[in-house]
Amino acid sequence: MTTRYIGAATTIRADDVPALYEGGKFYSPAVAPERTTLLSWTESLLERNGPVTLVRPDAVAPETRCVAICVIGSGAALADLPPSGDEFALAVRELERLTRHRFDAVYPLAAATVSGIAPLAAASQLDVPLIDADGMGRTFALIHHTAMHLGGLSPTPLVIRGVTGENVAITVPGPARADTLLRSNVDVLGGWAALAAYPTTAGDLRRAALTGTVSRLINVGRLLLESSDPDVLVARLAAVTGCRRIGRGRIVELEHLSRPTDFTIPTHPSSVVIDEIGGQGRQLRLELRSEVVAVFADGALAAAAPDLICLVDVLHGEVSTLDSLEPGDLVDVLVMPADAVWYSAEGLAMVGPASHGIPLEHPRHR
Amino acid sequence: MSKQPLAPLDLAELLRVEPLSRASAVHLPDPARHVHEVVLAETFDRLHHAAPHSLVVLHHEAATGGWALAAALHAGWERNVSAIVVPRPAMSSSSAVLAERLGIALLVIEDEPVDVALTLAGQVSAPQAARALRVALCAERLAEQSSIRGVLGVLNSELAPVPVALTVGGTVTAGRAAGAAEKPGGTTVCVEINAAGRPWAELVAAVPAKNTAAAGHVESVLRLARLPLLAAWAQTRVHSSAQAAREQAAFGLLRRLVAEPAAAAEPADVEVPPWTGELGWRVEGRNRAVWISPLTATDGAPAEELTQLVRAAWQRHRPDWPLVADSDGWISWQNLPDSTENNDEAGMRRALGAVTHAAESHALVLGVGDAHRGVPGLMRSVTEARLAAHVARDGGPGSVQWFDQVGARAALAWLPRGQIAEVADLCLAGLMAARDREALVDTVLAVLDCGGSLSQASARLGVHRNTVLSRVARAKELGLVFDDPARRLALHVLCYSLASVWLPGRS
């Protein structure tokens, strides 16, 4: 199979779904969702309904109304409580009812993990195009950690719909409160929910969203599915994503609860210590929250959020998920720049190292 | 003493006093590293502005553990700080590895970091006060020691990495031998220890080139150790009965060492057993023995009390020379380095001169052997000294005889003179009955000694030749006829014995 690069406007077919899913895993290497029923279900949906049109925001009329789709909550809950299938479409319908507008297109809130697939399923069900843009370009923990928020768009009104068939609509004046309200409601709905948020227009998305992130996901996914040699894989990924390898090494230590936790961001802080093999033989130290938030090489900050840091298992030539790490594993530490908007002062303040309790200057700022 | 009041404290010094004495050093690449100031780093910003050679105490945000310590170590490495002090909760094993990799000293404390930093700042700003405190603590530890080995142990742990050795006459007897070795660029600190006004030993410390500033402090600590060392040394000497038995047995062993392998190897090859050092003996090199014996020959060993007296007298004047009771006397020896040709007879004479008075008052005589190499040499010298001492008995109490001046006369040393004198009562009854028998015997002895020359004999006796002539004639009348060659040797020996037996009776 040759790599088929997809460009600005095309369609996503059923056989593109696995690549989309692999790319989604790569852009959020934290905890891989089990191969959920969502994947095969979306595939059959596309087979039945035909391909979904993927358009760039500047390829549709600026007044086209768009809504962001996302899976919110924990991946484990999603595996325990599989979606019935209509949550995403019905969340959009509920939001349409509240805003008294129809949505002509959907887009992913975060083009990564299952949240990259859910908008595709919703677009197929609603028979609308999927916008090739998203709000994060990866995943961040909180709902207002988006380029749209930085661009002045409000996440609310928003609707979440649980597998139980219940809707929760939230409208807040300050976006930071939205996430707090959301989380307690998600727990009640069974740990995960379908989210429809950031109702806006394609014109605003041109300005405020990150364009091309869905097609990038498919391109990266194809590379991952094809290559098993880690060196070839890293070289190809570098061409598509601009990532670079910080070092290759063996995991020597996993430290759990290595830092005091705060409550703004869920999940436990822990650390992975890697002895670099070759090169300068540095000690690489990975700081983990829900993702790898920083890499220290011999104590010097080498990469930090919002950089996307991931580990590639050298023996298997695939991305390691954080819950599968064991001492003794041989891994490549890759760092990928996030979208430029995240390195602005506002962006760094929101998702930079300081937001993870690391009050050091970002290495890309020095 | 060369005090340098502005010399900054080094890490080793800070680690000896509170509060860092309670800290555990996870990594300490260079204990001699200077500490110019103390930084209490609460934020990484503060850490990034720490001055070189500062001691950084992490606190609050900078000590949250995990990445924080790794980042602090890196910042410390960038800023060339002397050490990083971190509270225990922030410590992790990977940080120890990183500290080692970066070569940064890492100390872990259990106490409140702010308190520690304040105390340290006080110490660093007043190094002399911290040193005084350290010296005081050291004095306490030294005072607890009761053995020479213990004292040297305290000194070496206190002054580490500076090695300290105790040398007696240039030979290391305790401590780390590196202390006595000259180091290029380094300074050697010597403190002499005097016992009874005479140099007994030296404490030597080799201060490396890079912390010569600490030499003054080293010297003051070494001075402190003098009294405990002397006390420990005196104590070992005072436990005399056990010590005497031990020394006697040890000397017996040495003697056996010489006797046994003699058939196999060169006698000079006998290796010096290490336990001689523990007794404070030095046998390497050349040895010159002194034999001390009572003026009158006794059967068996001299009385215990006399041994004590001799030991006390010897220690007062020659504390660094051993003293071993052996058969009918006591052995001591002077050890000379192998390298020098000089036999240091002057040193021996000074020593003998010092003990002469005591020897006189206790009715002792001394014999001195020649200097010979190694253990076999010592044994030979002991035998020579013993012969010399026997000869010395002729000279009366306090007399000293050197073996090299005795020569063949040593053969007479073993004569049973008392018994020979008793023979005279039987075979020269006439002479023994005479009132002037002592003058007659002396005169005949002198004439015989001088090979029959009356003029030489008169000169030796200090009387007129005619007097000698008349005394010889009278002696002959009384049976002392020495003209007969067959009887001459017997009479000569008889006269020699009588003269030496009568000698102590005269003033």
Q: Do the Cβ atoms of B365 and B398 come closer than 8 Å?
A: yes
Taking CA atoms, A366 is separated from A296, A360, B50, in Å, by 15, 11, 19
Record the pTM.
Answer: 0.61
Cβ of B94 within 8 Å of Cβ of A255? The answer is yes
Cβ of A283 within 8 Å of Cβ of B75? The answer is no
pLDDT for residue B382: 86
pLDDT for residue B270: 66
Burial pattern B231-259, b for ≥16 Cβ within 10 A else e, equals: ebbeebbeebeeebeebbebbeebbebbe
Burial class (CB in 10 A: 0-12, 13-18, 19+), B96: middle
pLDDT for residue A268: 64
Angle at A65 between CA A64 and CA A67, to 5 degrees: 135
Give DSSP secondary structure letters for A198-236.
EEEEHHHHHHHSEETHHHHHHHHHHHHHH--SHHHHHHH
Taking CA atoms, B102 is separated from A251, A275, A276, A299, B424, in Å, by 20, 14, 15, 9, 95
Alpha-carbon distance of B342 to B355, in angstroms, equals 23
A360 → chain B, closest CA residue: B44
Q: Which of B65, B94, B101 sits opposite A253 (nearest CB)?
A: B94
3-state SS string over B242-275?
HHHHHHHHHHHHHHHHHHCHHHCCCHHHCCCCCH
Q: How confident is the model at residue A113 (pLDDT cuts 50, 70, 90)?
A: confident
Look at residue A158 and tell me whether its pLDDT is greater than 90: yes
Look at residue A2 and tell me whether its pLDDT is greater than 70: no
Q: Do the Cβ atoms of B114 and B136 come closer than 8 Å?
A: no
**Among A242, A255, A237, A229, CA closest to A315:** A229
pLDDT for residue B6: 63
Q: Which residues of A touch B (CB under 8 A)?
A: 252-253, 255, 258-260, 269, 271, 273, 283, 285, 287, 294, 296, 298-301, 357-360
Q: Chain A partners of B68 at a C-beta cutoff of 8 Å?
A: 259
CA distance B98 to chain A (A): 7
Q: Is B98 within 8 Å of chain A by CB?
A: yes
Average pLDDT over residues A120-138: 93
Q: What is the pLDDT of residues A248-271, one digit of tens each?
A: 999 998 887 655 554 444 456 788
Q: Which of B61, B67, B74 sits opposite A298 (nearest CB)?
A: B74
Q: Do the Cβ atoms of B151 and B30 come closer than 8 Å?
A: no
Q: What is the value of ipTM here, to two decimals?
A: 0.81
pLDDT for residue A263: 44
Q: Which residue has the tokens 């934020």?
A: B43
Cβ of B71 within 8 Å of Cβ of A300? The answer is yes
Q: Do the Cβ atoms of A67 and A198 come closer than 8 Å?
A: yes
Q: Do the Cβ atoms of A241 and A319 come closer than 8 Å?
A: no
Q: Is B74 within 8 Å of chain A by CB?
A: yes
pLDDT for residue B507: 39
Q: Chain B partners of A252 at a C-beta cutoff of 8 Å?
A: 94
Using CA atoms in the order A28, A29, A34, A37, what is the torsion angle rounded to 10 degrees?
A: 30
Alpha-carbon distance of B310 to A82, in angstroms, equals 104
Q: Chain B partners of A359 at a C-beta cutoff of 8 Å?
A: 43-44, 61
pLDDT for residue A276: 93
For chain B (507 residues), the mean pLDDT of every run of 10, in chain order, is: 62 85 90 88 87 90 81 91 91 89 92 90 83 83 83 85 79 77 80 77 82 76 85 72 76 80 53 72 82 76 72 73 81 78 74 79 84 84 85 79 79 77 82 84 88 88 90 86 83 84 61
Average pLDDT, chain A: 86
Q: Chain A partners of B98 at a C-beta cutoff of 8 Å?
A: 283, 285, 298-299
Burial pattern A172-208, b for ≥16 Cβ within 10 A else e, equals: beebeebbebbeebbeebbbbbbbbbbbbbbbbbbeb
Instruction: Tell me the sheet residues that pair with A72.
Output: A193
Helices (H), A227-293: 230-241
Alpha-carbon distance of A244 to A254, in angstroms, equals 24
Q: Do the Cβ atoms of B503 and B396 come closer than 8 Å?
A: yes
pLDDT for residue B339: 67
Taking CA atoms, A28 is separated from A31, A77, A139, A306, B139, in Å, by 8, 17, 6, 12, 64
Give DSSP secondary structure letters for B437-454.
HHHHHHHHHHHHHTTT-H
Listed in sequence order, the residues at least 6 apart from B7 whose beta carbon sits closer than 8 Å to its beta carbon are B127, B213, B214, B216
Pairing of strands B171-175, B187-195: unpaired
Alpha-carbon distance of B15 to B24, in angstroms, equals 9
- In chain A, the percentage of residues whose pLDDT exceeds 70 is 92
Instruction: Tell me the sheet residues that pair with B45.
Output: none
Alpha-carbon distance of B465 to B485, in angstroms, equals 23
CA distance A287 to chain B (A): 7
Mutation site for B-interface testing, chosen from A273, A282, A284 by largest number of B Cβ within 10 Å? A273
Q: Which two tokens stand for residue A71?
A: 């899976």
pLDDT for residue A63: 92
Q: Which of A252, A285, A360 sits opposite B44 (nearest CB)?
A: A360
- What end-to-end distance do the CA atoms of chain B give, in Å? 55
Q: Chain A partners of B61 at a C-beta cutoff of 8 Å?
A: 359
